A and B are shown apart, each in its own frame.
Chain A
Amino acid sequence: MDAHDHHHDHTATAAPQTEAPPGYYETMETALRELLVEKKLIGAGEIRRQIEVLDSRTPALGAKVVARAWVDPDFRRRLLANGRTACEQDFGISFYDDTELIVLENTEKVHNLVVCTLCSCYPRPVLGLPPDWYKQKAYRARAVRDPRAVLAEFGTIIPDDVEIRVSDSTAVVRFLVLPRRPEGTENFSEEELTALVTRDSMIGVVPVQLQTGILS
């Protein structure tokens, strides 16, 4: 397991002799990749290109989508009708994993929370890769049974008269929460609004908050 104790990049080229050898699972990853390339089942450059795609997807992308929905009622309507199509058409976001995107709108009466109880399905095209806690047992097990307590652990207290809806993701259907626009942002530009939207607010574990001091 010592492979997990070091942090270096083996992707470059030949193995540098001064570093520790890769661990068992890393060696398995390299072996499978090389065998698949040798058998021409995947192209040599495909992994590298997909890493670039993965690196290009961060919560900043989802934040742009949310802010646009706040300022543009027509976009909001289309986003809620078909999340994937709206993201593709207005932002040119490709859904490289061929998943559908359902956008869940938080309101005064409904708070949405997203989980994947079976594994770690997540709206990767618009948020990037999920945080570790999203993939771990405690969140997956408890989000569907006791969401109010889970939210409280994130510091989010939802009033009893607000319904909490938990959506369980699948391999082909992913969810993105459209959080509520904070009060006091009526005069904010779309760009200023984008800066307020966090990853966790789009998973549904926290609201979007008007942080003081961030804007001059």
Chain B
Amino acid sequence: MTPTEQLVTRLPNDIGGLEAGRIQQTDHPLEPWEKRCHALADVLDYHKIISTEEKRRGVESLGGKMVGELTYYERWIVAFANILFQKGVLTPDDLAKKMEEIAARWKG
């Protein structure tokens, strides 16, 4: 298979059966925001705003570079933002303004 064919048949999440190194048997307790992010995923799924499958696809469509470099819950939250934009629930502008507002709370 040529390298470009690989790109078509193997999306970033589809890694079952690939070569990989030793398993790092690590674990960490979730950061508070990571746990909130997880709870948000469950609540979005419960309300049928973003399903688990849509979330997985949303992470995949971040592309290989982001999938490779963002941490697990960083990928989730960025995917949620993109999906909410696509569904017309929020606009990028809504999010940018809210993030500025939150950042400003810390400057007081």
Contacts and interface: CB of A to CB of B under 8 A. Distances in A.
Interface of A: 3-4, 7-11, 14-15, 17, 21-22, 25-36, 39, 41-42, 46-48, 50-51, 53-54, 96-98, 115, 117-121, 129, 131-133, 135-145, 150, 153-154, 168, 171-172
Given A15-B105, A27-B99, A119-B13, A133 B25 contact: yes
B45 A141 contact: no
Contacts of A154: 23, 25
Given A4-B71, A27-B102, A46 B20 contact: no
Main secondary structure of the interface of B (DSSP, over half): helix
B13 to A, nearest CB: 5
11 contacts: A10-B33, A31-B99, A34-B98, A36-B44, A48-B39, A50-B39, A54-B38, A54-B42, A150-B23, A154-B23, A171-B51
A15 B106 contact: yes
Contacts of A115: 16
B32 A11 contact: yes
Given A11-B36, A138-B22, 14 more contacts: A28-B78, A29-B40, A32-B84, A35-B98, A46-B39, A47-B40, A51-B36, A117-B15, A118-B16, A119-B13, A119-B59, A138-B21, A139-B23, A144-B16
How big is the B interface, by class?
35 or more
Most chain B beta-carbon neighbours within 10 Å: one of A28, A42, A48: A28
Contacts of A32: 40, 77, 80-81, 84, 90, 95
Given A33-B40, A133-B26, A153-B23, A41 B15 contact: no
